[in-house]
Amino acid sequence: MIHGEMELAAPLRWGMVGGGRGSQIGYIHRSAALRDANFQLVAGAFDIDPVAGRDFGVRLGVAPERCHDSYHALFEAEARRPDGIQAVSIATPNGTHFEICKAALEAGLHVVCEKPLCFTTAEALELQALAQARGRVLGVTYGYAGHQLIEEARARIAAGELGEIRIVQMQFAHGFHCAPAERESAATRWRVDPKMAGPSYVLGDIGTHPLYLSEVMLPGLEIDELLCSRQSFVPGRAPLEDNAFTIMKYTSGAVGYVWSCAVNAGSMHGQKIRVIGSRASLEWWDEQPNQLRLEVQGEPVRILERGMGYLDAAARAEDRIGGGHPEGLFEAWSNLYRRFALAMDATDRGDAARLASLRYPDVHAGVHGVRWVERCVQSADQGGVWVRWRD
């Protein structure tokens, strides 16, 4: 159980790039990082507009001289201070991730970066090599993975409860962009602009989330080849897609499917993962994250509830309140940020055993997501052909 106590000798001095006032995702980064006292927000370049960024930073309690006009200025100024930042989170539009991440790692910082990590596998591998060479943590905010019942699914699958894994059915299919929301919303506009969104819209923006959940639940599963069809229903979004279907063949003989969609009219979020084995299936839905369905063939459906004693120890370790009280996305993100902090601290102390005991969406998860989007786009743009996962 987590009680919000600091678990490090001292909080990590932390900065942010992006996540300014009015941004969609900035607040949950701060809420998650600051909740357990493992990070302290001391600096930032919070906004593309320096005046707005400084004003916002000061309102967050950051000293005015540590609210910077750009990420370059932030990294340079902080590197000169004896009490400069040790870690930075990047919550800017996709098209900026690679350059900011690279600059942060070169400045010797631990990094938490928004997904997608970057646009190409080559760039992602460059960041991975840089993080390794500098001995820095590079985490990626696949935030749903912090929900504890994902750990329960992982444990039950590992114990063989489902039997042989045959099918992994995934979707992230919401309806919020079934009309041209980009006409009114700047945050939607950049998502359908290839310059800022990269080679895809929904594949990278949302499809990679359940994909990462499948990596956590099924650590041995390896994609062998995939086939993708993508299309855009709202005029003006092409060549980027607002809907995509991806079929995958795994090396084990199992198959998988991801439906990525922003035009699923009426759907609030629609992120689900269902793992189907030869004896039983497990299903988790992000709109009811405190429940996990276990369906054994020939038996009544069981709903496993977060916080209960019958769950695996790994699924109870990050409880913040007892079962019955709903926990949500903010708690899931806090769990991940806690793991990021522990990993950064273990890295700084050279504690390899501690580091090996921690699981979080790391640079490998970032590379995997980027490669998946790249392969999906390759397949779809050749008319929906099978493409090999590895070169």
Residue 1: CB minimum distance to ligand NAD, A: 25
Our finding on whether 63 is near ligand NAD (CB under 6 A) is no
Q: How far is Cα 7 from Cα 68, in angstroms, rounded to an integer?
A: 29
The single residue among 41, 43, 45, 342 that binds ligand NAD, judged by CB under 6 A, is 45
On whether the CB atoms of residues 184 and 145 are closer than 8 A, the answer is no
Stretch that binds ligand NAD, among 90-98, 121-129, 211-219, 281-289 (CB under 6 A): 90-98
The residue among 204, 201, 117, 212 whose CA lies nearest residue 168 is 212
Our finding on whether 93 is near ligand NAD (CB under 6 A) is yes
What is the phi/psi pair of residue 214, to 5°? -65, -35
The single residue among 92, 246, 260, 264 that binds ligand NAD, judged by CB under 6 A, is 92
Q: How far is Cα 156 from Cα 323, in angstroms, rounded to an integer?
A: 19
Nearer to ligand NAD, 169 or 208 (CB): 208
Helical axes 97-106 vs 121-134, angle rounded to 10°? 20
Site for ligand NAD in 197-256 (CB under 6 A): 205
Nearer to ligand NAD, 210 or 307 (CB): 210
The single residue among 14, 71, 119, 337 that binds ligand NAD, judged by CB under 6 A, is 71
Strand ranges in 211-252 using DSSP code E only, listed in sequence order: 223-231, 243-250
Site for ligand NAD in 283-342 (CB under 6 A): none
113 three-state secondary structure: strand
Nearer to ligand NAD, 145 or 162 (CB): 145
The single residue among 6, 10, 24, 310 that binds ligand NAD, judged by CB under 6 A, is 24
Amino acid at the residue 308: M
271 three-state secondary structure: strand
The residue among 70, 73, 76, 66 whose CA lies nearest residue 14 is 66
Place of tokens 């980064």: 29
What is the β-pairing status of strands 87-91 and 39-45?
unpaired
- Cβ neighbours of 299 (radius 10 Å): 9
Stretch that binds ligand NAD, among 45-53, 175-183, 342-350, 377-385 (CB under 6 A): 45-53
Stretch that binds ligand NAD, among 85-93, 104-112, 262-270, 311-319 (CB under 6 A): 85-93
Nearer to ligand NAD, 91 or 149 (CB): 91
Site for ligand NAD in 126-185 (CB under 6 A): 141, 143
* Six-digit token string for 201: 């819209």
Place of tokens 């998946």: 372
Nearer to ligand NAD, 156 or 368 (CB): 368
Residue 159: CB minimum distance to ligand NAD, A: 29
Q: How big, in percent rounded to 5, are the helix, strand and coil portions of the chain?
A: 40, 20, 40
Which residue of the chain is nearest ligand NAD when measured via CB? 20
Site for ligand NAD in 100-129 (CB under 6 A): 114-115
- Per the DSSP assignment, residues forming a β-bridge with 292 are 284, 304
Q: How far is Cα 46 from Cα 29, in angstroms, rounded to an integer?
A: 12
Stretch that binds ligand NAD, among 87-95, 151-159, 161-169, 266-274 (CB under 6 A): 87-95
Stretch that binds ligand NAD, among 14-22, 166-174, 315-323, 360-368 (CB under 6 A): 14-22
Our finding on whether 20 is near ligand NAD (CB under 6 A) is yes
Which residues, other chains included, contact 286 with Cβ-Cβ below 8 Å and sequence gap of 6+?
A: 144, 147, 269, 271, 272, 329
Residue 71: CB minimum distance to ligand NAD, A: 5
239 three-state secondary structure: coil
Our finding on whether 362 is near ligand NAD (CB under 6 A) is no
Residue 56: CB minimum distance to ligand NAD, A: 8
Contact residues toward ligand NAD (CB under 6 A) are 17-20, 23-25, 45, 47-48, 71, 91-94, 96, 114-115, 141, 143, 187, 205
